[in-house]
Amino acid sequence: MVLQQLVNLRCPACAPAGGGALSEVAGDLACNDCGQTYPVVEGVPVMLTEATDHFGLLKEIANTRGSNGTSA
């Protein structure tokens, strides 16, 4: 899966400094600068860091993936 919007996305932690280009890694996105990974859920990148994940969504995604045994 290649995200056509990938060229426009940047890591929110690194973008203010001018970096934060992302690469696709196993269907998810990873920052080329800090290494932070961002899950892609049903084609939608979840651009949250632990600091901005106020609703625990990242943990919920991780739990969902663990329970059904897929990495989608």
- Distance from the Cα of residue 5 to its chain's centroid: 13
Least distance between Zn ion and beta carbon 6 (Å): 14
Binding of residue 11 to Zn ion (CB under 5 A): yes
Cβ atoms within 10 Å, residue 51: 8
Binding of residue 48 to Zn ion (CB under 5 A): no
Size of the site for Zn ion (CB under 5 A): 8
Binding of residue 28 to Zn ion (CB under 5 A): no
List strands edge to edge, sheet with 22-25: 22-25, 28-31, 37-38
Instruction: State both tokens at 67.
Output: 């329970």
* CA-angle at 22, arms to 17 and 27, nearest 5°: 155
With CB under 5 A as the contact rule, the residue among 3, 6, 9, 14 that binds Zn ion is: 14
Binding of residue 33 to Zn ion (CB under 5 A): yes
Least distance between Zn ion and beta carbon 46 (Å): 14
